[in-house]
Amino acid sequence: MDAPELHTLVAEIVDRVLASSKAHEAGPYPCGWECAGCPDTAPENCAGQAETVIAAGADRLSCCTRLARSAPGVAGLIDHTLLRPEATHGDILRVCREAREHGFASVCINPYWVPLAAAELAGSGVKVCSVAGFPLGAVPAGIKCAEAAGAVRNGAREIDMVINVGALRSGSYDVVDREIRAVAAVCHGAGALVKTILETALLDENQKIVASAIARLAGADYVKTSTGFASAGATVEDVALLRRVVGPDAGVKAAGGIRTIQDLRRMVAAGADRIGASASVRIVEAA
């Protein structure tokens, strides 16, 4: 797809999503649901936009009652994350042990630690997730591809790639499209998933829609809100917006600042089907 064609398609998607947003702004309960016994039906807690999310095809929204039933159901949504630069060998062993114990979806760690995590998690059902272009995204696509290729070769089954935020904000949509396609080709060729990190705290509403649309068109399996290293992390409004854009055929990962079971429930109600958290153990124990 050439640059003018991509710009035209993205503009059409932005207009359609913004029109959908305006149609669901009215009323104190934007979702239109009042589920008996759900603690999140109060306006200040309801993730809102439930009607829109359901129309888009979300299959994980029942006012959180599914989450309330079992801690394992919660754990299976979570990428147990340790991306701090000062993390040690012992820290990685600890998060792997916790992931096996609680049944988290994956352990998300920096590329250097992938071989260790893959060895520790072998046979457990917990996947190894790593990152590319992290945390800034401001490196050439070839470097992101090399990072992704090295990680999947060493045992990673999922890659969270930071998009080129500066290129997106500059209107260079073709740059963002090409890099996502390139990393997706590397990952899919090895049987791995790719999640694109948009860093929503640095984008306005239009840019969030554009980034999500490009990611989906370019073959990303998930769109992800945040690295956790920016000024702010996931919000329910951003999660609901991303879900409206990508529809039912891609995942939405909420990450950054998710520290409690209440945070997790609101994100899932808004349309997230994967959660990135470092407070994972505390969350499942609360559940």
Cα dihedral 136, 138, 142, 144 in deg (nearest 10): 10
In this structure, of 35-39, 142-146, 181-185, 198-202, the range with the lowest mean pLDDT score is 35-39
Question: What is residue 3's predicted lDDT score, i.e. its pLDDT?
Answer: 85
Name the average pLDDT for the chain: 86
> Does domain 3-286 bear CATH number 3.40.50.150?
no
Confidence of residue 177 (pLDDT cuts 50, 70, 90): very high
As a three-state string, the secondary structure of the chain is: CCHHHHHHHHHHHHHHHHHHHHHCCCCCCCCCCCCCCCCCCCCCCCCCCHHHHHHHCCCCCCCCHHHHHCHHHHHCCEEEEECCCCCCHHHHHHHHHHHHHHCCCEEEECHHHHHHHHHHHCCCCCEEEEEECCCCCCCCHHHHHHHHHHHHHCCCCEEEEECCHHHHHCCCHHHHHHHHHHHHHHHHHCCCEEEEECCHHHCCHHHHHHHHHHHHHCCCCEEECCCCCCCCCCCHHHHHHHHHHHHHHCEEEEECCCCCHHHHHHHHHHCCCEEEECCHHHHHHHC
- The sign of the dihedral angle between the CA atoms of 120, 126, 130, 135 is negative
Question: What is residue 50's predicted lDDT score, i.e. its pLDDT?
Answer: 37
Question: What is residue 36's predicted lDDT score, i.e. its pLDDT?
Answer: 38
Confidence of residue 4 (pLDDT cuts 50, 70, 90): confident
Chain segment 64-108, per-residue pLDDT in tens: 323 323 345 899 999 999 999 999 999 999 999 999 999 999 999
132 burial (CB, 10 Å; 0-12 / 13-18 / 19+) is: buried
Confidence of residue 7 (pLDDT cuts 50, 70, 90): confident
Chain segment 217-270, per-residue pLDDT in tens: 999 999 999 999 999 999 999 999 999 999 998 999 999 999 999 999 999 999
Q: Would you name the residues annotated as active-site residues?
A: 160, 224, 253
- Which is more confidently placed, 60 or 153? 153
Question: What is residue 242's predicted lDDT score, i.e. its pLDDT?
Answer: 97
Confidence of residue 24 (pLDDT cuts 50, 70, 90): low
The structure's pTM equals: 0.82
The proportion of the chain whose per-residue pLDDT surpasses 90, expressed as a percent, equals 73
